[in-house]
Chains A and B, each alone.
Chain A
Amino acid sequence: MRPEPFVHPYIPNSVPELRQAMLDEIGIPGPEAIYAEIPEELRLKRPLDLPEPIPGEMELKGHVEAILRKNLTCEEYLSFLGGGCWRHYVPAVVDEIVNRSEYLTAYCGMNYSDLGKYQARFEFNSLMGELLDLDAVSEPIYDWGTAAGLSMRMASRITGRSEVLVPGTICPQRLAEIRTLCQPEPMPGSIRVRLVDWDPESGGLDLTDLKRKLSEETAAVYIENPSYLGFIEEQGGDVAELARKKGALTVVGVDPISLGILEPPARYGADIVCGDLQSLGIHPHCGGGQSGFIAFRDEETYVAECPLAIYSLVETVREGQYAFAEVRAERTSYGLRDRGKDWVGTASGLWTIAAAVYLALMGPQGMREVGQSIVQTSRYARKLLAEIPGVRIPLRSPSFKEFVVNFDATGKSAAQVNRALLEHRIFGGKDLSAEFPRLGGSALYCVTEMHSKEDLERLAAALREVLR
């Protein structure tokens, strides 16, 4: 007998009388009768060694908040961090919708009882389809890196080839994820990942090196636009053309918020397009806002090789009424286990709803305007920083929202600059010196529509002081 019964607000049947009534009905004295199946030596015979609980909601909230308040935020500090997670403006309606109980808590209710969830998914697919100019969009996966790796695995199965070519300017962390997915070479069915050189002046892909490396083995050429280093890859069409001539597919990774002003990759020859939804109405969440999308041609071959869930509009028995159903579910790992296409599982569904609401609010005009704001504000920052003595912008290609800033001529390392900027309550750009030794002591600065002219002037003034 416990001295005081443990009744928890999250456990209605922890009330002793209810518990007892259920045990009576089952016909057992207690849960031990159920756990009797567990061999004695596997039982934990002591209480778990955990801290004293904080059962009161107010006290618990205070406890966790006190720890979280040790974090500094990009609201308190002026941040120029990007590199795959960005701070864009999130419209209030997006937060209102994604925080709705129904979307926040829904799981795998079926076509009828969770109809709205399915419709929101289909709308996400449809809106992304317009943005990307492609007719097929799947449910997303965890992040851009996984989406890129799965796209390459799709390309390998579609072409029956086992090598992918990737630009040397790719985000090294993303490349590491891709390498994990493409497997080490001793494994059967592994895909070789080869880097293609890049032009140190522009950042763009070295087409001569690409031609040299393209072969009958090449399943896909992967490029990014805008690239990890921020520049706009102008040669997308040339890359796709060269790939096509060798029978390879073109996979393009894209930051979707750029597509109000940048040409969608499908129009310059991309067969599969992937990227991260995080820029479309999702807060950074310390990296918890990532969501990797995959879109492709609406062709049977592509659908058949896509590992992720795909949904279709279908008609109901009532004239003119729609519902939604899964497309060829049997091809997935849920249908075929180890013989399915890679795997499918819970990933980042809520963010499709954020992205759908974001795109519905923005419309064509909003997407164009936000793209304009970003490219102009970012260019202005680039210009301001280039005027600082010793600061250099090493890549001359036009950039979208991120750009590389080099400090070599200032005598200070990027890490030193960043440390000094903290004194000014500024998070400087991501230090690239370890990732890209070829760029010397450089940092990747991210400027979005949320930065004001004053913010940029503050950065420039702080840098001048830091570098004096």
Chain B
Amino acid sequence: MKKAALRRYHAPAYDEPIVTEMGRKGQRGIIPPRADPEIARSVGAAEQLVPRKMYRSRPPALPEIDQYHVLSHYLRLSQMTLGMETGTDISEGTCTMKYSPKMHEQLVRLPQVTEVHPLQPEDTIQGILEIAYRLRGFLNEISGMSEFSFQTGGGAHATYLNACLVRKYHESRGELARRAEMITTQFTHPCNAATPATAGFRVIILPHKNGYPDLEALKAVVSERTAGIHMTNPEDTGIYNPRVREFTDVVHDAGGLCFYDQANANGLLGIARALEAGFDACHFNLHKTFSSPHGCEGPASGAYGCTERLAPFLPVPVITHRQGSYHLDYDRPESIGKIRSFYGNLQCVIRAYAWILSMGAEGLKTAAEISVINNNYLEKLLMRIPGITHPYAEGKRRFEQVRYSMETLKAETGFGSHDIQDRMVDFGIQSYWLSHHPFVVPEPFTPEPCETYSKEDLEYWAAVIEQACREARDNPEIIRGAPHNQAVGRIKDFSAADDPARWAITWRGWQKKKASRQAGRAQQ
């Protein structure tokens, strides 16, 4: 293995003003369509068409900027965003930041997607319904489920949908009042605890035992009060729970339902499915496992799949196929109703469809296998770095990601995973994801080198972490002052964002608070 040379990276640093500070009075960025002069003559001025007390009394204090400078401002901000395609998102563990093929962007920018209104008659949106219906078939096969809904707008939304379906299922059996508890595990994504709580359930979080969810603890808490379980496998740690079937059996025996958070299913495509592990429902993040880009956190899609047992409760409409055409079925008396307007983010559905079709069965399995090989290769490189460990499940291989710890590094140098995070970006890679809260693994970080990344990418990533860890020992000043090669310097005081007197959520808020601080000083 050749040693990876570290890049002499520096982020573009434009010292770009806030947009509200830009422009000059009277400048404008665009001339919107105006009403035809004859229309204006016929109906009169806008002021007369709006009730007087509802007419805007003061115009909004938006900036006035010419078009070129709006464009260059947002281009500069984009350059000061590493993003996924320049940043090597190996760093974003639990999130499978894989390559989103550019051709898919050409597809979703066609007017047959962008200029379609969701309320058009069914027979005028057959193309998009056909793609959704076909993807439903692909995902049924990949998961073993029998129905899929694309209505949710993200992964957490899909876990919320599951909580709503579980609620409806028990309601339909007259057991809702009793089945008030939802179980989840410590290393499952936090939304699996949060969304059932929002749906009104009392949530029980199972502790882990050496990195595995504790089966004995599950047996101790299941009862006739159990509504269901939300779990994932492998968990955030990358550790696969081989006793998963016992978990689902225990919950089923108590009359509960089992949900598998497969937001990130990358390591298991074509290898193992939700059905065989005993789950009644699961979800895939089309914006992770199935290549739709993340878009600064959406628009996204948490494709939700379930067995026949839960299908009657899915939100309306369900896309169906009969007599050679595709339909939106609203006639579902047991449905939970609506969870999102219209039909979800179908642009993500189109991309996922194209991606699966580009891969085929063998390609999906290759993606899974390479992602676990990549991960184990990166682990090999990272575990050579003094100060890095991966707690729990000794001797067991992780699947598609690993939760590492810098606890030893912290003990030896005083620098932990936050400090290394601030330094690693100086070498032109994205800052790593630490861990969900609470930090059960101390000083955590969680890379996930999915199939997109090359051997050299993994070696570079490991070399950056190694460099930063070496600096923590040899050159502490450089870590303390990091980052050095970014668009801005170190944030002076994060606590300002937690203090109502100092936080500034908008520019106008910033100005008001600054003025009041100045007035306060003047008085003193």
Contact = CB atoms under 8 A, between A and B. Distances in A.
A366 B339 contact: no
Interface string A445-468: 000011011000000000000000
Nearest to A111: B491
A380 B437 contact: no
Interface string A47-84: 11111111101001101110111111111010101011
A349 B295 contact: yes
18 contacts: A10-B101, A18-B455, A23-B373, A33-B397, A37-B397, A104-B83, A105-B84, A105-B85, A106-B81, A113-B431, A125-B506, A285-B347, A310-B505, A316-B491, A353-B74, A370-B32, A376-B39, A452-B36
A53 B360 contact: yes
B374 A13 contact: yes
B61 A364 contact: yes
Contacts of B295: 103-106, 349-350
Contact of B490 (A97, A312, A316): A316
Interface in B61-97: 61-65, 67, 70-71, 73-87, 89, 91-92, 95, 97
Contacts of A359: 62
Given A312-B503, A349-B297, 14 more contacts: A14-B451, A18-B454, A37-B240, A51-B360, A87-B117, A89-B33, A106-B83, A112-B431, A113-B431, A134-B506, A287-B343, A291-B299, A357-B70, A364-B59
B165 to A, nearest CB: 11
Contacts of A105: 83-85, 89, 97, 100, 293-295
Interface stretch (A159-167, A257-265, A405-413): A257-265
Q: Most A CB atoms within 10 A — which of B18, B171, B190?
A: B190
A85 B421 CA distance: 41
A13 B373 contact: yes
Nearest to B46: A372
A338 B100 contact: no
Q: Most B CB atoms within 10 A — which of A26, A39, A55, A343?
A: A343
Interface string B433-467: 10011000000000000011111000000000000
A42 B244 contact: yes
A93 B374 contact: no
Contacts, number: 752
A360 B160 CA distance: 35
A180 B510 contact: no
A311 B498 CA distance: 10
Contacts of A225: 54
Q: Most A CB atoms within 10 A — which of B28, B62, B196?
A: B62
Q: Please classify how large the interface on chain A is, using the bins under 10, 10 to 19, 20 to 34, 35 or more.
A: 35 or more
Nearest to A343: B194
Q: Please classify how large the interface on chain B is, using the bins under 10, 10 to 19, 20 to 34, 35 or more.
A: 35 or more
A91 interface: yes
Given A364-B60, A453-B38, A236 B362 contact: no
Given A102-B82, A130-B508, A323-B488, A10 B451 contact: yes
Given A263-B55, A380-B35, A176 B127 contact: no
B500 interface: yes
Given A347-B300, A373-B35, A109 B54 contact: no
B30 to A, nearest CB: 5
A278 B151 CA distance: 17
B475 interface: no
B506 A126 contact: yes
B518 interface: no
Interface in B395-432: 396-397, 399, 421-422, 425, 430-431
Contacts of B359: 8, 10, 53
Contact of B60 (A260, A346, A361, A373): A260
